[in-house]
Amino acid sequence: MGVQEIRRHYESAAMDTTIAIDVRGLTKSYGDVQAVAGIDLRIQRGEIYALVGPNGAGKTTTVEILEGYRPRDAGTVTVLGYDPGQHRRQLKSKIGIVLQSTGIDQFLTVTETIAMYAGYYPNPRPAAEVIELVGLESKRNIRVVKLSGGQQRRLDVAIALAGNPELLFLDEPTTGFDPSARREAWEVVKNLAALGKTVLLTTHYMDEAQYLADRVAVISAGRIVAEGPPGTLGGRELATTVVRFRLPAGQSLPPDLAASREPDGYVSFAPENLTAALHRLTGWATERRIELDSLEIVRASLEDVYLALTSGQPEPAGMTGQSRAAAGQPAARTAAR
């Protein structure tokens, strides 16, 4: 990228206040491992944007560069009008962060912890309000060491919210949450977006990306291999639709509804014209008073698309943040940076 082009990038991104994050040609290597191999991203203010991808794909590295906590090798990056590599301090008061692994003081209480982090920000939210947002009311005076894994994660989210930031980075915010806690966390994130905040999150849960994200980017081996709204990512809306049902024993379908019978008693077929095929099938069944048990129309899920896009992609050598944490080694950084 030439000097002129870089200057134009910064001028346009800094002036366009509708853009929260603008990234061009981002790269980052750790020794021989190229973690980020040329990423372009543009995230609008108020958008919820999800990065998904296999372990070691480069999600955390990308997020940390945008947060200003990791230097990049090349590329241009603008976050809320700032270059995080140059203006980390200015940026810090406007962003909230949930790290993949945190190192918060275990001996403070929930309220004390939130109040401490709130103190770093010019316009914090009241601690009680933040505690309510993440559903930790009954634990407000409990020491962090006594919280369960999922409750600690909620506290991580609370810390990120304490400063009332414009932009939130959530690196696997709901890992370890039980299903109902995950739903509650989703509502927290949706509410933030309703307040006009921008959210960049990473997740390994496709239902989370589907529910929360306006747009999803699939990262594989340091590159974005697909990007778009969850409903149309990777041509998902064009993928074959399958009709499935159970056919009572002894019944067989007319030959024009060429269907295959599965070992579990289900019959399925992938029609070219779904409406016409359903009409034919249900007409045939109704005429014969046959009940098509468990009749369903199955579309490619976001997870199907994700698996197709990332299959056969080798994980880069080395350990990821999660595997480091699993191995009991300290994470590279702590929250109290």
Ligand X SMILES: Nc1ncnc2c1ncn2[C@@H]1O[C@H](COP(=O)(O)OP(=O)(O)OP(=O)(O)O)[C@@H](O)[C@H]1O
Sequence-distant (6+) residues with CB within 8 A of 214 are 47, 48, 49, 229
Q: Does 60 bind ligand X (CB under 6 A)?
A: yes
Closest by CA to 100, choosing from 41, 32, 176, is 176
Q: Using only C-alpha atoms, what is the Rg of the chain?
A: 24
- CA distances 317 to 30, 37, 113, 314, 322, Å, are 11, 14, 36, 9, 14
Stretch binding Mg ion (CB under 5 A), from 78-86, 96-104, 185-193, 211-219: 96-104
Site for Mg ion in 13-42 (CB under 5 A): none
Binding ligand X (rule: CB under 6 A), the pick from 49, 230, 321, 335 is: 321
Q: Does 321 bind Mg ion (CB under 5 A)?
A: yes
Sketch the per residue contact string, 30 through 49, with ligand X: x for CB under 6 A, - otherwise: x--x-x--------------
* Amino acid code (one letter) for 48: I
Q: Does 53 bind ligand X (CB under 6 A)?
A: yes
Q: Does 61 bind ligand X (CB under 6 A)?
A: yes
Q: Does 319 bind ligand X (CB under 6 A)?
A: yes
Q: Does 58 bind ligand X (CB under 6 A)?
A: yes
Stretch binding ligand X (CB under 6 A), from 84-92, 141-149, 205-213, 311-319: 311-319
At its nearest, how many Å lie between Mg ion and the CB of residue 154? 19
The answer to whether the CB of 218 falls within 8 A of the CB of 49 is: no
Cα dihedral across residues 174, 176, 179, 181: positive or negative: negative
Q: Does 310 bind Mg ion (CB under 5 A)?
A: no
318/30 Cα distance (integer angstroms):
10
Side-by-side strand order, sheet with 74-79: 33-44, 19-30, 74-79
* DSSP three-state, residue 69: coil
Q: Does 174 bind ligand X (CB under 6 A)?
A: no
Q: Which does 76 bind (CB under 5 to 8 A by kind): ligand X, Mg ion, none?
A: none
Q: Which residues bind ligand X (CB under 6 A)?
A: 30, 33, 35, 53, 55-61, 100, 316, 318-322, 332
Binding residues (CB under 5 A) for Mg ion: these are 59-60, 100, 321
